[in-house]
Amino acid sequence: MTPEMHWEPLVATGYAMLLVVIAGALEWMGRHANKRTARYHTAGFRFQKHLDHWECPTGMRLLRAEIDNDLRVIRYQAPAHTCNRCPVKANCTDSDNGRVIEVPLDPWLSTEIGLFHRGISLALLSLAALILVVELLRNGETTGRWILAGVLIIVGSLIVSAAHGLRHRAGM
């Protein structure tokens, strides 16, 4: 005789998986928005990785000027005399010192918005794990317990992975 499958473990599993999907979507949207913002600041410019410089739409090079370890950015700057003579300067920069492009040294997770999104994701994943643990403790039926335990292991590994990124950020 096989034990009857109750609907509560299935509902809890479905709800937990929905929270996992929402957490993943929030992370993806945050990264996507961050990349779009970065592209906005460098619109029309091309990075020449092998030469380590940016090239403006008129062909002028912005060379590496400095690495600011306090702000965690690399600054690339065009010569002021070239920018000040440029016919498209008004559309590019209002600086008389030349156009500057700042490139962050750290990945997305080191930004404030990245930390916010990761925190929300961790909260959702933790809520999913809590739902699964409560239902696992509540449910005495064997088949449902195996499903809950399997999904709990998956959610737990996602929590560990997400928290590892935060620990790495904090230097722990």
- Show the beta-strand stretches assigned E in the chain: 46-48, 53-55, 61-68, 73-77, 100-104
Q: Measured between alpha carbons, how far is 113 from 117 in angstroms, rounded to an integer?
A: 6
Q: What is the pLDDT of residue 159?
A: 94
- The domain limits of the chain are 13-34+111-170, 42-106
Helices (H), 74-141: 80-85, 89-92, 112-138
Overall pTM surpassing 0.75 (yes/no) = no
Q: What is the pLDDT of residue 3?
A: 57
67-82 pLDDT, tens digit per residue, is: 988 878 899 999 999 9
114-145 pLDDT, tens digit per residue, is: 888 899 999 999 999 999 999 998 876 767 78
Q: How far is residue 161 CA from its own chain's centroid? A: 13
With a cut of 50, which residues of the chain have pLDDT below it? Answer: 1, 172
Q: What is the pLDDT of residue 172?
A: 44
Q: What is the pLDDT of residue 73?
A: 86
